[in-house]
Amino acid sequence: MSVLKNNPYRKDFPVADQVIGGKRLAYLDSGATTLKPLIVIDEMDKYYRQETANVHRGLYWLSENATNKFEETRDKIAGLINSPDRKQVIFTKGTTESVNIVAQCYARNFLNKGDVILLSQMEHHSNIVPWQLVAEDKGITIKVIPINAQGELLLDEYKKLLTPEVKLVSVTYVSNALGTINPIKEMAAMAHAVGAKIFVDAAQAIAHKKVDVQDLDVDFLAFSGHKMFGPTGVGVLYGKEDLLNMMPPYQGGGDMIDVVTFEKTTYNTLPHKFEAGTPAIAAVIGLGKAVDYINQIGLDKIQEAEEELLKYATEKLKSIPGLKVFGEAREKASVISFGLEGLHPHDIATLIDKEGVAIRTGHHCAQPLMKFLCVPATCRASLSIYNNQEDIDQLYNALVKIKKFFE
Ligand code: C6P
């Protein structure tokens, strides 16, 4: 079934079908956050209207119900990523917090002066700065895997960089600014061959392709609920059990303890060791419904739909004279970064907003990548299953209109 002509998923997303400022909305910023389907919204509404209670604490029905639903999400996530065990799924605030946990609890404790962390040229700031915070303190060196003009990682260069000093590789699965899909399975095998661990930022991958932590054989993996049709404020850190067990807790507080005395405190087992304090209960429960939603459709169908949208959008945009697409990797997700000759990306976004088109412009939290591309910013249209031909045509028509205006 074509999502371009008769999109069967669109009706599930109330935000998608709106008129804003007198214009039909074309939401093309799913890389920033996806829209939420009704089943997620309704479940969270139910928690707040009828089922509010804290988790892991009360012996009354409401609390047990909330705990069950909260923990069911852990099972659903474990299933989605094929985690060997549910306890390896840790709820965090999002990808950013997940990276910080591994940087502070793993890298700070188990990496030493002279060790190397490998990142790539296309990383989001969330997968750069947390490592820098530790590297500066500990005398760890950060090295960068370069990319080619199409926006693909140079695997030969990666191989050369993989010396015995490399203790950790941290790379994105899918670039938020280029759409490039990196060969994670191959990269993990290469990292392991020199004894390095691999952390994967799956923020832009999780809602778009099958992510199987056992097949990929990654040591850590992170993603955010809000980029996979779920709510904001919740994300996941997956880790191999031995590594998570080695790591000290990230924060102290309720739920993460075993026995507390003023003399010495012992800690809870996984996953609770890393989940101090009252969690984002409604968000976690909503995330469970987002996983149900993804499973109902199937990731293969989602990928198929997004490929159709990407193909149509790329051909359409490239037909505009003076439009340059940044990032044309052979393996690419439904993200199109572009510039329009003679126009600043911020002006483009502001002007097409008047036509109802929502895209993101800026450095996309990837300043080192912008430096490589020799641009201060790009425009980015990112597509998801609820988009259709009209959305893409609306972007195309808006761009043609402003181009004419400035000619
Ligand atoms: N990218 C974008 O518009 P948080 O903010 O923790 O949910 O996710 C951070 C993050 C980490 N890695 C990648 C690859 C990402 O794309 C993001 C978030 C958004 O591209 C907001 S900057």
Backbone angles phi, psi at 144, to 5 degrees: -120, 130
CA of 53 from ligand 1 middle (Å) equals 30
Residue bearing tokens 């778009």: 208
The 8-class DSSP code of residue 94 comes to S
pLDDT at 289: 98
Q: Residue 117: beta bridge partners? A: 142, 168
Instruction: Please report how the helices 299-318 and 281-297 are oriented relative to each other, as an axis angle in degrees rounded to 10.
Output: 80
Of ligand 1's atoms, which has the minimum distance to the CA of residue 360?
Answer: 3
pLDDT at 1: 77
Of ligand 1's atoms, which has the minimum distance to the CA of residue 176?
Answer: 16
Backbone angles phi, psi at 42, to 5 degrees: -65, -40
CA of 198 from ligand 1 middle (Å) equals 19
CA of 226 from ligand 1 middle (Å) equals 10
Residue tagged active-site, from 105, 365, 374, 379: 365
Which residues form ligand 1's pocket by a CB distance below 6 Å?
Answer: 31-32, 94-96, 124, 126-127, 172, 176, 201, 203-204, 224, 360, 364-365
Pick the CATH number of 42-296 from 1.10.10.10, 3.40.718.10, 3.40.640.10, 3.30.450.20: 3.40.640.10
pLDDT at 381: 98
Q: Give catalytic status of residue 105 as yes or no.
A: no
CA of 372 from ligand 1 middle (Å) equals 19
Backbone angles phi, psi at 84, to 5 degrees: -60, -25
- What is 10-28+298-406's CATH topology? Aspartate Aminotransferase, domain 1 (3.90.1150)
Torsion of CA 363, 365, 368, 370, to 10 degrees: -20
pLDDT at 124: 98
CA distance 89 to 73: 10
In a 13 Å sphere around the CA of 343, the CA atoms on its Cβ side amount to 27
* pLDDT lower than 70: segments of the chain: none
Of ligand 1's atoms, which has the minimum distance to the CA of residue 174?
Answer: 14
CA distance 82 to 89: 10
- The 3-state DSSP class for residue 376 equals coil
Domain ranges of the chain: 10-28+298-406, 42-296
pLDDT at 77: 98
**203 and 228 in contact (C-beta within 8 Å)?**
no
- Give 286-301 pLDDT, tens digit per residue: 999 999 999 999 999 9
CA distance 333 to 311: 10
- In the chain, the amino acid numbered 5 is K
**195 and 163 in contact (C-beta within 8 Å)?**
no
Q: What is the pTM of this model?
A: 0.98
Token pair for 145: 């895997």
pLDDT at 102: 98
Token pair for 399: 């761009």
The 8-class DSSP code of residue 125 comes to G
pLDDT at 406: 86
**100 and 130 in contact (C-beta within 8 Å)?**
yes
